[in-house]
Structure 1
Amino acid sequence: MSKIFYTTTILGNGHWSLEVRRGTLMKITDLEGGANVGMLFYNPRNLLERYNAPDTLKCQHTFKLQRGNCLYSDMGRIFASIIEDYSANGEGNWHDTVCGNSNAQQIEKQFGKRDYQKDRNSWLQNGSDAFLVELAKYGLGRADMAANINWFSKVIADDSGNIKLDTKNQAAGNSVTLRFDMDTLLLLHACPHPLNQEKAYPFKPVQIELGEADPVGEDDYCKNFRPENQRGFQNNALYYLAAN
């Protein structure tokens, strides 16, 4: 990724939010293997517009996210596109957007109780509360929490429909790169996936790199990945034409 202008590390119980402009690249790297990155998107000019997991999956005829997929709002516009998806061990990446978040009760039952007042940076944060902390910074709350993406987390279903986390593709160096196609309020956390079965809390850090994307051409891989993506980019163009 060229023109990197910011790099940071999110700890394995950390969370973060920021507004990114369209044309920004974000590369997320699993530094140790086994990380999970929960993520939500909102339109900073209209916070009622937010990431829509059902539309993202059904219009691209998929259950998982991978290179080529676009991430849709509930207004039919594209927040971001997955332009790169690197698998360090060759197993292939798979990113979940159906299983949601861990919560405080689950984390306490599985890993024990720790709180920030006593344990400081070693406390055991959960995905739901991490999002609520970030949402509150923008006047949003629990009712505004949509279904989220879980980067680096592969979920599979058996013949009876039971879903579980498959860890075979987890590896240090796995990465995913997003190109933001709209101005976006981005929320993320690095807390455990709700189907994580580890005995010890997974303090798995991720690296975030922000850079500048190349312009979207007519031959863009994501734009042409599915027919619906063409319409999504047209909706984006109309939105910014009206905004100007």
Structure 2
Amino acid sequence: MTDNTSSKTTRPGDFIWQESLPGGGHWSGVIRRGTVLRLTDVEGGANVAMLINNLEVKSERYNMPDTLKAQKTAFLTRPNMCFSDMGRVMCSIIEDTCGWHDTIGGLSHAALVHKKYGDKSYQEAHNDYYKNGYDSLLNELGKWGLNASDIMPNINWFSKVRVEDDGQMTFVPNNSKAGDYVDLRFEMDSIVSLSTAQHPLDPNSEYAPKPIQLTVFKAQPVAQDDASRLHRAENERAYYNTKIYYGENPNDDI
């Protein structure tokens, strides 16, 4: 049974940095192992598309099929981990006040945004031009020497997509409320790329992407009874593989 309970009174450890990302924005940066990235939905109804790449070996990246298969789930919440395509853990979900994060909905693209919302070009609207998830992430990946071939199935934090009995995917509005957050403890030095463009299945007929806040703080040491590591045998094996990768004794935390 998935444990998606979270404590709203959780206090971050040593604060490192914080910044805001507007709706329709995009961002990328390095998140170090041993730190926590907190994503906060400022107004409610946000969507945060994320890709994760290993900082040292960029071809190692978040793998959606392995993440879902190993943990027997179709969505992410606490205490799930995000697995790489090398059988290692990239980050662990250690707190989550939202409870459901989409893994199958994918990214919006230019043609979709044009069809749903019309056109508002950079020449016309400058930084308020209509953006899409695919081009936003491609922009960020390019800063790290990556390209379109590196766009893999992504995570859509704060969004919920339900699969009906007939296989149709249904976007569930208002899944995330103002102030909801998810804490990701990084177990691997990672390049994190984000887009706050609207979810491709969002039925809203207006272009209205929502802002988020990014906060990074030092993680507490991994406890013996860490929920993410002990969630499934596959999680513990991925954690073991990651410790070995960094030349550390995997028994140090036991």
The reply to whether TM is greater than 0.5 is yes
1:133 matched residue in structure 2:
139
Shift of 1:66: 0.4
Q: Distance in 2 between matches of 1:147 and 1:120?
A: 29
Shift of 1:217: 2.2
1:232 matched residue in structure 2:
238
Q: Which amino acid aligns with 1:68?
A: P
Q: Which amino acid aligns with 2:122?
A: Y
Indicate yes or no: 2:77 matched with 1:71. Answer: no
Q: Deviations over 1:20-45 (max 9, x none)?
A: 11001111111111100000100111
Pairs within 5 Å for 1:34-73: 34-73=45-84
1:115 matched residue in structure 2:
121
Q: Distance in 2 between matches of 1:68 and 1:117?
A: 45
Q: Distance in 1 between matches of 2:165 and 2:229?
A: 34
2:215 matched residue in structure 1:
209
Q: Distance in 1 between matches of 2:53 and 2:209?
A: 27
Indicate yes or no: 2:168 matched with 1:157. Answer: no
- TM-score (norm. length: structure 1): 0.95
What runs of 5+ residues in structure 2 fail to find an aligned partner?
Answer: 1-11, 249-254
Q: Distance in 2 between matches of 1:214 and 1:12?
A: 31
Shift of 1:216: 1.1
Q: Distance in 2 between matches of 1:115 and 1:132?
A: 18
What runs of 5+ residues in structure 1 fail to find an aligned partner?
Answer: 88-92
Which SS does the other structure have where 1:211 is aligned? strand
Q: Distance in 1 between matches of 2:168 and 2:180?
A: 26
- TM-score (norm. length: structure 2): 0.91
2:6 matched residue in structure 1:
none
Shift of 1:168: 4.1
Indicate yes or no: 2:24 matched with 1:8. Answer: no
Q: Which amino acid aligns with 1:24?
A: T
1:28 matched residue in structure 2:
39
Q: 1:145 aligned to 143, 151, 159, which one?
A: 151
Shift of 1:169: 2.4
Which SS does the other structure have where 2:140 is aligned? helix
2:20–2:213: 8 Å Cα contact kept in structure 1?
Answer: yes
Q: Which amino acid aligns with 1:177?
A: D
Q: Which amino acid aligns with 2:155?
A: I
Q: 2:29 aligned to 13, 18, 22, which one?
A: 18
Q: Which amino acid aligns with 1:145?
A: I
Which SS does the other structure have where 2:104 is aligned? coil
RMSD: 1.1
1:94–1:154: 8 Å Cα contact kept in structure 2?
Answer: yes
Q: Distance in 1 between matches of 2:31 and 2:45?
A: 26
Q: Distance in 1 between matches of 2:20 and 2:91?
A: 21
Q: Deviations over 1:41-85 (max 9, x none)?
A: 001111110110000000000011000000000000000000000
Q: Distance in 1 between matches of 2:95 and 2:163?
A: 26
Q: Distance in 1 between matches of 2:71 and 2:104?
A: 15
How many pairs are equivalent?
237
Bigger Cα displacement from structure 2, 165-174 vs 56-65:
165-174
The percentage of counterpart residues that share the same residue type is 44
Shift of 1:148: 0.4
Q: Distance in 1 between matches of 2:43 and 2:227?
A: 29
1:35–1:202: 8 Å Cα contact kept in structure 2?
Answer: no
